[in-house]
Every structure is written in structure tokens, then in C-alpha cells.
Amino acid sequence: MDLIEWLTNKYGPFMDMEELSEMLRLKKTTLYQQIYQGKLDIPHIKRGKKYLFPTSEVALYMEERVRKR
């Protein structure tokens, strides 16, 4: 089972800010700051007051970060 499939099974097609912050081990305020400053490299959409992140894009972001190390 690859990372995209695993994350999709766990979180569904989209992750919210709470789930993303838990997975990346960052505070939600840090993620909000990165969004507002244009520094967050994960595609996202804003639905009302809630930010949603495509789970497949989160998986690709994580895989890319691991390869850079």
C-alpha cells in the first residue's frame, strides 16, 4: 500500500487543518501563517471558513520532502 492510498483510506479525499497539523506535527497557527504568507507548498481550497487539502497532494508533498533529505 503506497502513501497516497494509505492517507486516502485514513482521511478521505480531503484533509482539514486539524488533520494536516497533526500529521505534519505543526501548530495550526503555523500552517495559517504559511498560507497567508504564500509559503505553503500544498495546494488547498477554502470552503467557507475551513481550509481543505487534497489528500493525494499532501502525500506527494511528503514524498517530495523525504526525497530532498
In this structure, what CATH number is given to the domain that contains residue 27?
Answer: 1.10.10
Supply the range of the domain harboring residue 11: 3-68
User: Does 69 have pLDDT greater than 80?
Assistant: no
Number of domains in the chain: 1
CA atoms of 45 and 16, how far apart (whole Å): 10
Q: What pLDDT was estimated at residue 15?
A: 98
- Helix, strand, coil percentages (3-state) for the chain, rounded to 5, are 60, 15, 25
| pLDDT, tens digit (0-9, with 9 covering 90-100), for 5-40 | 999 999 999 999 999 999 999 999 999 999 999 999
CA–CA dist 54, 16 (Å, integer): 9
Residue type, 11: Y
pLDDT tens figures, 38-66? 999 999 999 999 999 999 999 999 998 88
The amino acid present at 68, given as its one-letter code, is K
